[in-house]
Structure 1
Amino acid sequence: MHPTTPAQPFDGSHDREIESLAEFDEVTRDHGTLSHFRVQSVDLTDRTDVLLALDTSAAVFLGCPMTPEAAAKARASGALVFPPVPGLSFDPYRGFVYSPEELFASLDEGYEATPDARTYAWFQRTKADGDIFGSMLRSLHDDAVSDALDELLAGQDVVGVMGGHAMARGTQEYAGAARLGRELARTGLTVATGGGPGAMEAANLGAYAAPFDDGMLAGALDILAKAPGFTPSVTDWAKAAFEVRAGWPDGGPSVGIPTWFYGHEPPNAFAAHLAKYFSNATREDGLLARCTAGVVFLPGAAGTVQEIFDNATPNYYGSRGEPTPMVLVDREHWTRRLPAWPLLQSLARERAMESRIALVDRIEEAPEALKRLRG
């Protein structure tokens, strides 16, 4: 934390964000002021004496529980105090992305009891009734998640793995996607997916398996094959994933970026960091924009086709700088079943992105193709 003096205006720097009680204690101990700081979803009910003693001018408290006395003093000094919103299954001011344990809490009572399922139910209710307060809370939440994701991924080389949700556990395709995620993670890249089931889960599983010997992935695939898909039971599907995590704790990290827009699809439990959004448009654009090391597109349907051209557009126009690599896997799929490749080739012709696209037959060829395109 590096505060400004009270005379300086706030310029949006992350250095003034306080997102945990430990950070709060560090700032107040080392700097003796909260002026111009942004305190995000930190329980301050036991820090009343500190809040009463320190300068809080131009501070902003976002969803921080505190005593009425402390809140009144902060407001009187010129701080903005946004109180917690009662009765929600999510925190709109959160300072961090989600963990699987957080979204799947209470899974033993059935998936319907989890914060993930309850938040989707809230989303459905508030989306249907058109309440502006609900839409405001969703927007606040998604902005907070984007901010947290930016902080999490700062300085990392992120590779996206996109593909369909229908890819079932126990199939050769699923195992191949898992091996792909493992190999990419072992090269030092941060694997990012849409955070859902199918190909997305497989790639996150592979990154989770990266620190272990190869036998771990084989054992995990055997366990997961007992619950091939999230229908008819999300509960059984998710419990199989947590069984793997319990058998091999402390797996490798990766990122999943799912959405409650597709709330019937649960997030997967193998992404250590889950940046879950209400807005699918914000989620889609943010996912692809953060894949600075390129994207591998596995066979998929409409959603994956959309992602190919959502990614191709900034590469075509150069709106995000230099084009990032795009590797499409399965020639038959992308030239005959869903012929996205010929169109992508036509778009790329004589543009900077032309040397950054590739089509490979087999998933095992994707890491080498990505390496070649990255230079």
Structure 2
Amino acid sequence: MVNADIEIETLAEFDQVVARGSLSGYRIQSVNLLERTFALLAADTSAAVFLGCAMEPDASAKVRADGALVFPPVPDLPFNPYRGLLYTPEELFDGLPGGYEATPDAGAYAWFRETATDGDVFSSMLRSVHDDAISDALDEHLAAARVVGVMGGHAMSRGSADYRGAAELGRALTRSGLTVATGGGPGAMEAANLGAYLAPAPDEALEEALELLAKAPSFEPSVSDWARAAFAVRDRWPGGGDSVGIPTWFYGHEPPNAFAAHIAKYFANATREDGLLARSTAGVVFLPGAAGTVQEIFDASTPNYYGSRGEPAPMVLVGRTHWTEHLPAWPLLRALARGRAMESRIALVDSVDEVPGVLASMR
């Protein structure tokens, strides 16, 4: 069995495996087994690993006697460090009618702020375990996907021309068969996820959605109003297209956006940033941004320069004036690429309309 074959992440998967009589060697992640005591007592659980699975005491004692490793759920924690699946917007924003402060996302950020500097090894271990579980779930989700990363600043407001352009880009990339992945936050990131979400809908849906969202142009001063506007769009067009958001509680004052169907939220920002770029194997698009986007350009450039991840991934910078005059990253990127394999894999374009064609030419 390869690693993915030995992981059990849902009760349905558990039932399928236990029906064959043996859980030996399996890794069971965050499955509530309180109603499966008889199955656990009857099955061979030798060499199994139970990660955050609720069990009755008799079942727990039996599987430990079999030689299984049991990592019990951690009480009074606002997140599950052993989770086997990515987050959904509904999960992170549960309780939003009572205000953003009542949501699990806000609760996890509050816990992070309280423990990030207290030096408690248990807290840091829980953050690390959680982030590793998220990476595992992200790899499983994207296993067969052609992923294109869309990077850009959080300050891009709803209702702006740039926001519209980023949304149109996300829609075009999704309709071309690519999976859009963003930093999962507001601004350009939200716009790209919005476009991906509305890819299955008629073209006019985006225009209407932009009008609805413009009523709450920024997450400041009210995250609650900003998020409610997004869920109003989701309610208007349910069952949207697939995309991924990869945000972080390190920047917890910036909420995740509600248009990424799957959210891989991390505590460690460095793990999140490197993971997003490493998984964008079909290319990375850099929309106009500030310091964070500049950092991402050169984070992506380093493995392309050295070839440490194999064939260089395409890099497309959008906004000639922005990247040559306002923040002149393009001249340095072009100088770095000169004479190396990545030279034919970088491009500077004027508008988002050019991006799909440029990416297609680099395949």
TM-score tier (shorter): over 0.9
* Residue identity matched to 1:265: E
Deviations 1:265-290 (A, max 9, x none): 00000000000000000000000000
Query: Aligned equivalents of 1:314 and 1:128: distance in 2?
Result: 31
Q: Secondary structure at the match of 1:160?
A: strand
Which residue in 2 is equivalent to 1:360?
Answer: 349
Deviations 1:151-202 (A, max 9, x none): 0000110000000000000001000000000000000000000000000000
Q: Secondary structure at the match of 2:149?
A: strand
Query: Aligned equivalents of 2:255 and 2:119: distance in 1?
Result: 24
1:52 aligns with 2:23: no
Displacement of 1:128: 2.4
Displacement of 1:97: 0.5
* Residue identity matched to 2:82: Y
1:14 aligns with 2:14: no
1:164 aligns with 2:156: no
Which residue in 2 is equivalent to 1:8?
Answer: none
**Where do 1:89-104 residues align within 5 Å?**
89-104=78-93
Query: Aligned equivalents of 1:321 and 1:89: distance in 2?
Result: 39
Q: Identify which of 274, 277, 284 aligns with 2:263.
A: 274
Deviations 1:345-369 (A, max 9, x none): 0110000000000000112111111
Which residue in 1 is equivalent to 2:71?
Answer: 82
Displacement of 1:115: 0.3
Q: Identify which of 263, 266, 283 aligns with 2:252.
A: 263
Query: Aligned equivalents of 2:153 and 2:326: distance in 1?
Result: 14
**Where do 1:200-279 residues align within 5 Å?**
200-279=189-268
* Residue identity matched to 2:278: A
Query: Aligned equivalents of 1:86 and 1:37: distance in 2?
Result: 24
Query: Aligned equivalents of 1:140 and 1:362: distance in 2?
Result: 41
Query: Aligned equivalents of 2:172 and 2:224: distance in 1?
Result: 29
Which residue in 2 is equivalent to 1:136?
Answer: 125
Query: Aligned equivalents of 1:57 and 1:252: distance in 2?
Result: 41
Displacement of 1:105: 0.2
Q: Secondary structure at the match of 1:241?
A: helix
Runs of 4+ in 1 over 3 A off after TM superposition: none
Displacement of 1:244: 0.2
Query: Aligned equivalents of 1:255 and 1:323: distance in 2?
Result: 22
Displacement of 1:371: 1.3
1:28 aligns with 2:15: no
Give unmatched runs, 5+ long, in structure 2.
Answer: none
Deviations 1:271-321 (A, max 9, x none): 000000000000000000000100000000000000000001000001000
1:286 aligns with 2:275: yes
Q: Secondary structure at the match of 2:362?
A: helix
Q: Identify which of 176, 194, 198 aligns with 2:183.
A: 194
Displacement of 1:148: 0.2
Deviations 1:13-50 (A, max 9, x none): 11000000000000011x21010000000000011011
Provide the identity percentage: 73
What is the number of residues matched between the two proteins? Answer: 363
Displacement of 1:322: 0.2
Which residue in 2 is equivalent to 1:7?
Answer: none
Q: Secondary structure at the match of 1:61?
A: strand
Q: Secondary structure at the match of 2:294?
A: helix
Which residue in 1 is equivalent to 2:294?
Answer: 305
Query: Aligned equivalents of 1:141 and 1:362: distance in 2?
Result: 38
* Residue identity matched to 1:167: M
* Residue identity matched to 1:239: R
Q: Secondary structure at the match of 1:14?
A: helix
Query: Aligned equivalents of 1:68 and 1:126: distance in 2?
Result: 31
TM-score using structure 2 length: 0.99
* Residue identity matched to 1:363: V
Q: Identify which of 140, 153, 164 aligns with 2:142.
A: 153
* Residue identity matched to 2:263: L
Query: Aligned equivalents of 1:251 and 1:127: distance in 2?
Result: 36
Displacement of 1:372: 1.4
CA RMSD of aligned residues (A): 0.7
* Residue identity matched to 1:20: T
Which residue in 2 is equivalent to 1:329?
Answer: 318
Query: Aligned equivalents of 1:361 and 1:249: distance in 2?
Result: 33
Q: Secondary structure at the match of 1:129?
A: coil
Query: Aligned equivalents of 2:134 and 2:90: distance in 1?
Result: 17
* Residue identity matched to 1:60: V
